[in-house]
Amino acid sequence: MNQIKTTILLTLMSLVVLFTAQTLGYNLIFSIFLAGIFNFFIYFYSGKIALSSTKAEKIAEGEYEEVTGIVKYLTQKEKMPMPDLYIIKNDQPNAFATGRNPKNASVAVTTGILKVLNRDELEGVLAHEISHIKNRDILVSSMAAMLASTISFMSRSVFWGGGNRNRNTHPLFFIVALVAAPLASVIIRMAISRTREFGADKTGSSISGNPLALASALEKIEKYSKLPMHVNPAVSQLFISDPLKALTGGGMRKLFSTHPPTAERIRRLKEDASGIRYR
C-alpha cells in the first residue's frame, strides 16, 4: 500500500511539472536536466553531508558491539551487504540510514539512543533503517527532490525573464503555475517522505518480527527528544525521527513535516502486531 501511495504521489508531482512547463512556456527536458544536475550532488553526497553535519564517527572494530551484532544479524537475514556503521555523540535518541544502494550504505546511531533503548527496541530501530536501504528510499527521495526542484526552477526563472509569457495562457493558470505549483510540489514531496517512513516502519517490523519493540522505541525517542540536533535541514528526513522537531510547531506542521506523527506510527505498528484496529 505504501509503495502504491508513493507511486501515485510521484505521478501527481510529475503532472504538476508538466502543467507548470506548459503554462509558463518552458522546455521541459531542459528544466529537468538542470534540476537533475543539482540533485545529482544530493543523491550521491547526501549521506556524507548527513554524517559530516552530525560529526558522526565510524565505529571501529570492537566498539559498540551490540550495534554491530544486531546489524550483522539483520543484514545476513535479509541477504544484504553489511553497511558502514557510525556513532553520533549526541544525547538526542535518533538514527538514520543512507546510501544510493545496498552496496553503498551507512547506518548511524546516536549515543543517546543507546542509553534509552533496550536491545529489542534497538533492533527494531536498526531494522527500520535497514529497510530504508532495502527499499532504496534514497532513490525515491531523490526523484521527488528532482521533480520539486524542476518546478521551483521554472517558477523562479520567470522573474528573470525565463519561460514564454507571450503564450495564450489564461492569467489564472499562470498564477497557479507561478505560486501554487511550487507549494504543491513541497507538500507532495513531504507526503512522499512521510509515506516512506510508514513503509520503513512496516518493513522494518517485519524484518525484526517485533512491531511492538519498534513502537516502544518510537515512544521513547519522542519522549527524550527535547533538544534539536545540529544537522543540515536538507538531510533531516533521513532520520527515524525528525531531529529538528523541537524547533517546529504550529497547525501547518503536519502538512510540511518530513515525518508522520509519532502517535500515528505507533498506532499502525500496534495494529500490525495485534490485528486490532485502534482509533
Per-residue pLDDT tens digits for 90-107: 999 999 998 778 888 999
59 has pLDDT over 60:
yes
Q: How high is the pLDDT of residue 208? A: 94
In a domain, 27, yes or no: yes
Q: How high is the pLDDT of residue 279? A: 46
Radius of gyration of the chain (CA): 20
pTM: 0.78
Smallest CA-to-CA distance from 2 within 142, 204, 192, 132 is with: 192
In a domain, 114, yes or no: yes
Q: Which residues contact 29 (CB under 8 A, 6 or more apart)?
A: none
Strand partners, 85: 107
Q: Which residues contact 199 (CB under 8 A, 6 or more apart)?
A: 2, 3, 6, 131, 135, 137
Catalytically active residues are 129
In a domain, 57, yes or no: yes
d(CA 239, CA 146) in angstroms, rounded, equals 20
pLDDT digits (tens, 9 = 90+) for 220-275: 999 998 888 877 776 788 899 988 875 555 555 666 688 899 999 999 999 988 76
In a domain, 279, yes or no: no
278 has pLDDT over 50:
no
pLDDT digits (tens, 9 = 90+) for 110-133: 999 999 999 999 999 999 999 999
Strand partners, 58: 86
In a domain, 221, yes or no: yes
135 has pLDDT over 80:
yes
Q: Residues for the chain: how many in total?
A: 279
d(CA 250, CA 266) in angstroms, rounded, equals 21
Domain of 33? 2-274
In a domain, 252, yes or no: yes
The number of distinct structural domains making up the chain is 1
